[in-house]
Amino acid sequence: MALFTVSSVMNGFENSLKTNMLGLIPHVEVQANKHTSAQMTALKTDLERSDYVDHVSLYRHGEAILQTNKDLHGVLLQGLYGDNGSLYKITDKVVQGNWQNVLNNSYNIAISRYLSRKLGVGMGEKLRVIMPNASTYTPLGRVPSQRLFKIAAIYETGSEIDMSLAFTSGASLQRVLKLNKNTAPNLSVSLHEPFELAQFTKDSQHILRDYQVSDWRSSQGTLFAAVAMEKRIMSMLLGLIVLVAVFNIVSALTMMVSEKQGEVAILQTLGLTPSQVQKVFMVQGLYNGVIGTAIGALLGVLFSLYINELLAAVGLNLLAGVELPVKFDVLSLVIIALSSIAMSFLATLYPARKAAKVKPAEVLRYE
């Protein structure tokens, strides 16, 4: 039950991070550098044939400073082209405004609810976007490129992405970055499963060998590695619970063998062979393991499904009313259940062998 519950919650937490964070950034970014727009378009077509790829889009980005009368904040400003919103699944995260206005209108921007509160601006208001890496020359000297943008959408993911990401159209970002019209955009590749990045890289190596490529592991890899390590450590620690139960089976069967030596000896005199005696105790121990695993699995599934309601019932509210995410990975749950049964079976071997070695003549000598 403990393993089922922890595994489901940790999988839900990992899936929530994957959706909220990796859903808003390119899984793989191919840099244009000196390549032409025609080459990038051809590469886009080649990448879309991969079984691992969900969508490929033209894409730009640049470091920007968002400034208002109240505050300023540094972000990564992404410039999207066409219906690129579907790639980032951000339309599900928009809480105010219209996402299409960001893509279709010039100098419109989408920021997070966190940035909206921090900068003190809301829907329809304007903020100044300053690009430190692009500049214009004025009589006063070199000045960073800047432009007023209108807030056309506000999104919220509930993750740290809200603090560092803003969106606009690719054309608007290109003009603010002072890029030539012939400058080719980068490619943003979205995979069906971000964790299949290694397989995609191996499969597409011959296509991408002449291009500079970066992926989500460079920015978010540390976080997901920490989550994976935490899952393994938690499973290992809670697996000790199963080991304790296994030792209980060993001790219970050993005590039973000691108490039932007379009955075992009588059965052997009636014709029961040592191997059959061994099987009796193995079935007895395995019965306990199977019943215990079945009850634990059922309670674990029920507890995972209603964990938030149970926590609320006992007054354990998480920070800001956040609910624990739950995701069932059928394969891992089956492995946990089968491992529990297998360990229960192994626990029966020693007591069963001990029972099979009972000698009827010695046990019944004084009966």
Q: Which has more pLDDT, 150 or 238?
A: 150
Count of CB atoms within 10 A of residue 89's CB?
15
- Please identify which residue in the block is written with the tokens 């009966």: 367
Residues 268, 271, 273, CA angle at the centre, nearest 5°? 65
282 and 356 Cβ atoms separated by less than 8 Å? no
- Provide the 10 A C-beta neighbour count for residue 151: 25
User: Among residues of the chain, what percentage have pLDDT more than 90?
Assistant: 9
33-59 pLDDT per residue, tens: 888 888 888 888 888 888 888 888 888
Beta bridge partners of 76: 63, 165
Q: Taking 80 as the threshold, does the pLDDT of residue 113 lie above it?
A: yes
Give the pLDDT confidence score for residue 163 in this predicted structure: 86
What H or E segment, with its residue span, contains residue 56?
Answer: strand 53-67
pLDDT at 319: 54
Cα–Cα distances (Å) from 242 to 2, 140, 247, 251, in that order, read 9, 73, 9, 14
pLDDT bin (cut points 50, 70, 90) of residue 149 is very high
Q: Residue 60 pairs with which residues in a beta bridge?
A: 79
* SS3 state of residue 128: strand
Name the band, by pLDDT with cuts 50, 70 and 90, for residue 258.
confident
The pLDDT value recorded for residue 318 is 62
pLDDT grade, residue 357 (50/70/90)?
confident
Q: 320 pLDDT exceeds 90?
A: no
Q: What is the pLDDT of residues 125-148, one digit of tens each?
A: 999 998 888 877 767 677 888 889
Helix, strand or coil, per DSSP, at residue 122: coil
Cα(357)–Cα(51) distance, rounded to whole angstroms? 59
Query: Cα separation of 293 and 2, whole Å?
Result: 11
Mean pLDDT of the chain: 83
Half-sphere exposure of 288 (CA within 13 A, CB side): 21
Q: What is the DSSP letter of 324?
A: P
The string of DSSP letters for 337-358 reads: HHHHHHHHHHHHHHHHHHHHT-
pLDDT at 257 over 60: yes
pLDDT per residue as tens digits for the range 57-105: 888 888 899 999 888 899 989 888 865 544 456 777 888 888 888 888 8
Residue 106 in this model has a pLDDT that exceeds 80:
yes
> 106 versus 258: which is more confidently predicted?
106
- Please tell me the predicted confidence (pLDDT) of residue 97: 87
